[in-house]
Chain A
């Protein structure tokens, strides 16, 4: 099956944040309550991604030669091909969906948090306490949230559906790469010499592609992102070693899983943050 992707065009985006609200509305990530926020001298809010906030828009003011620009960008899972989170996940809770993006099975998540360390974009967030093991990881599901699955039902993700200025598109990844390259070429021809298609090649190809009018660093994106070496060591060396050396890891993770599962059943609310 052809790989799918989201194309985000920062040059078209007006940061209306319809996507940010639609993400919560569709996926019920916060049970309709919203996060308690205060204005911290910005249009931006909440301040960071969280188990309740899987997508947020970022605002950056840049001044060059006395000219101000206001850059908007999307912050959410990039759905990498070379995905650190998938590599390090000991329970295979995080996996590559057959359509290419990174989905996860919350029931399998042990809350170990290794995916957080392994993410070059600092995206996954945990509820609960990482040490006690009752936490669960959350991030953008590419709208494959259980019981609320859009993509497997042939619909575009909620953020794409809602985007008023058509800054978001959903479709076959190769077609969107071609479209993205075309738009970048147009931006470059119109004087944006640093325009760039982020995600074309990064981490063997992201499933969220960014058309950027400026260089990636100007939007706070890493240049040539890599899965941290320690995570790779974990996957390629430590994990097999662990499997060979004994059942300790398995038993531990199994316990983790059971405790976490028990905790969830007791509370009846998956991933509800304990106050």
Chain B
């Protein structure tokens, strides 16, 4: 989240899209209630009327997988309304704090001109040759002046400026087109536009709350790009009650991504080292952004400090200037190669990956095309499953329809302690690192994850020291001194980092150096465990300067305890808050100091922009935020494509689906004539993810005893299905049997007169535990987002019939 849970209470309008907070974030929903009772509006955009919709002022139905068309339509509304009612928008914010006025390479062409593609595409329309499914992004660039600074037209009139290019791009997304793609009734859509666009007024704030309904698409990353564009045009970034807020589905999923859960990053979102990086300098040259704009702070110029300190934390004394601080100890995955979830299971299927440690994860239920993934586990030599319960993944060898004697994989099950049975920190969606204490002993031989990792690493070090082996130094030189059993505070202190000269804990990442005199396990968390102690353990409810619910002494928040990131954009050029009612920061001219939240930027924060201070969006090289985002793989503007499996043709261009999405199994694509019904998956409040933590609890099983599929009365009538019937749902990958919940909360989508049905399936179940049932992910495809490779769980094709 750019903002935080409590801050939702400050919002004037909440757009819940691709998420169902009442269902999946029930405690956090209290903050939505606070906003509503202050007079704020709640808009719920969802394929079916959900628990969140039941509390919403406006419910807008939208066919799964058409988020970009919907949000692009809203952007189009705002762009037109800016022309008609400029007084309702913060034009200073748009021209000064975004790249709206930046001039783009005249060679750049967009989908309006190129049939749905951007300039630089190697292939033709609907290209199937995977080698040609890529872009050369040379034209996705700015025009530079003689000093190498991007040219600007702050009046936003130049035909090549971003703002004018946007008008051309988004004009195609009319309310009629939105209806034709999303199936949202035009009047409802316009109601959404009017209500949300009202937050564009200076002093008003709207927030976007999203979750996996946004991300799990072949266009998932561009969905969020669309929110970014909308939020920037409405001046909603950096302000209280605004922002783009990912509601995390697990209590520590924010923490896990911060610590390099994903294959393409190192802790603190530093880029992973690749095969092309022949030296630390190469790596830094590839990743450290540069700017010639004197007003840009370009925070990531500090890359060398962060990576060097990380290497010092990892390799200690063994990391020296002479050996590039141990740079070569680290593995260097092949550049451009994908090592994400789908790719790993494809590699298992191909027999390339021989062993798997599955730590608190249950892909036999949660993985896409889950039967394919269960079969992939059969190819392994060994599998270690670490969990609170035996999971479907741990039990794959004895699942229904298999003969255990035919499966050679050796399976180890390590019983783990639950979060209440161990001490440590959890980082929530708000980026708050909150320290927790052990409050109960665990059962039997269960141990905490850190204990297991520590034992494993100590043993590996012993073996590599004794016997050697490939890349032995990477193990033997590793600094590993946490005790046995390990002390979690030692780990937390190492993450914060220390000055190796003085031996003192670092106060913040501003003190980090690239010369090997500081060590830090994760630059984002620098400041969390200082000489003053463990900041995450703080439980002080002293309000912030402006009393807007920041609670700066409650726990600790990355970066640098900043509760709202990009907060420099919450003030005008003179440092005066746009929103007088909820100021985040404010320039105090008398003391020449910033008041309020921890200012974005170096200590002290410099002066306001009008007095020569740096621009607000310090994490981009431009210093402003990007309406035009050349960093994206599939286009600098969000463009609507159909999901990989779709019952209709793309109504906005002839390019049917995302032109660069990686297709693993073209033969497993379901056709609309055999599978005419759109399907999506979701969760219910009563169950948790792949289900082991809840399907073993009798009260929760009593309330939600088995998986169901929700469908409209119209579809049920067509198929002769009655409420409560058992039905078979089938896709090109497999079939499942579930109970039909026939409901008026699901309606067929009327898209310019064309009717499409959609059903929604719960995905919590599997074959292990107190409550068992079919796994919805047996139906989902092995296809992922063009930028992130997150699987497309949320829009695929099925057919249904009575069982």
Contact = CB atoms under 8 A, between A and B. Distances in A.
Interface of A: 11-12, 14-18, 20-21, 24-25, 30, 32-43, 45-46, 61, 63, 68-72, 164-166, 186
Contacts of A30: 698
Q: Is the interface of A mostly helix, strand, loop or mixed?
A: loop
Contacts of B704: 39, 43, 45
Given A39-B739, A41-B724, A45-B702, A164 B51 contact: no
A17 B51 contact: no
B742 A41 contact: yes
A36 to B, nearest CB: 8
Nearest to B722: A41
B699 A24 contact: yes
Contacts of B22: 14, 16, 165
A245 to B, nearest CB: 47
11 contacts: A16-B23, A20-B699, A25-B699, A34-B702, A38-B739, A39-B706, A41-B723, A41-B724, A42-B723, A43-B741, A61-B745
A46 B33 contact: no
Nearest to A14: B22
Contact of B55 (A14, A20, A24): A14
A18 B686 CA distance: 9
Nearest to B773: A39
Contacts, number: 102
B318 interface: no
B26 interface: yes
A96 to B, nearest CB: 30
B707 to A, nearest CB: 8
A37 B33 contact: no
B27 interface: yes
Contact of A17 (B698, B703, B740, B743): B703
Contacts of B686: 17
Interface in B1-52: 22-23, 26-27, 29-30, 33, 37, 49, 51-52
Given A12-B33, A41-B740, 17 more contacts: A11-B55, A14-B685, A16-B22, A17-B685, A17-B703, A18-B26, A41-B723, A43-B684, A43-B704, A45-B703, A61-B743, A61-B744, A68-B49, A68-B745, A70-B54, A71-B54, A186-B37
Contacts of B684: 43
A70 B741 CA distance: 14
Contacts of B699: 20-21, 24-25, 34
Contacts of B745: 61, 68, 70
A33 B741 contact: no
B51 A14 contact: yes
Top 6 nearest A-B pairs (CB, nearest first) are A34-B698, A41-B724, A41-B723, A34-B702, A14-B22, A70-B54
B739 A41 contact: yes
Contacts of B698: 30, 32-34
Given A14-B22, A68-B744, A70-B51, A45 B705 contact: yes
Given A14-B51, A68-B49, A164-B30, A21 B703 contact: yes
B280 interface: no
Interface of B: 22-23, 26-27, 29-30, 33, 37, 49, 51-55, 59, 684-686, 698-706, 708, 722-725, 739-745
A63 B37 CA distance: 25
A24 B723 CA distance: 29
Nearest to A20: B703
Nearest to A52: B702
Contact of A70 (B53, B708, B742): B53
Contact of B26 (A25, A37, A164): A164
A123 to B, nearest CB: 19
Contacts of A15: 51, 54, 685
B739 A165 contact: no
Contact of B29 (A33, A35, A43, A165): A165
B51 A39 contact: no
A56 B205 CA distance: 38
B26 A165 contact: yes
Contacts of A35: 702
Contacts of A186: 37
Contact of B54 (A18, A21, A37, A72): A72
Contacts of A12: 33
A11 B33 CA distance: 9
A38 B701 CA distance: 9
Contacts of A16: 22-23, 26, 51, 685
A163 to B, nearest CB: 9
Given A42-B741, A70-B51, A72-B54, A165 B30 contact: yes
Contacts of A24: 699
B53 to A, nearest CB: 7
A71 B744 CA distance: 13
Nearest to B742: A41
A6 to B, nearest CB: 18
A165 B33 contact: yes
A49 to B, nearest CB: 13
Nearest to B705: A37
B49 A70 contact: yes
Contacts of A36: 702
A74 to B, nearest CB: 14
A68 B59 CA distance: 9
Nearest to B725: A41
A68 B56 CA distance: 12
B702 A164 contact: no
Name which of B22, B699, B724 has the most chain A CB atoms within 10 A of its CB.
Answer: B699
A41 B49 CA distance: 16
A191 to B, nearest CB: 9
Contacts of B53: 70
A28 B438 CA distance: 25
A41 B26 contact: no
A18 B59 CA distance: 25
B458 to A, nearest CB: 40
B685 A39 contact: no
Contacts of A34: 698-699, 701-702
A62 to B, nearest CB: 9
A16 to B, nearest CB: 4
B359 to A, nearest CB: 28
A71 B253 CA distance: 32
Nearest to A53: B702
A169 to B, nearest CB: 13
A30 B702 CA distance: 11
Contacts of B26: 14, 16, 18, 164-165
Contacts of A71: 54
A17 to B, nearest CB: 6
Contacts of B685: 14-17
A30 B699 CA distance: 9
A39 B29 contact: no
A219 B33 CA distance: 21
B33 to A, nearest CB: 6
Contacts of B29: 14, 164-165
Nearest to B686: A17
A135 B42 CA distance: 49
Contacts of B33: 12, 165-166
A21 B685 CA distance: 12
Contacts of B59: 68
Contacts of A11: 55
A72 B26 CA distance: 15
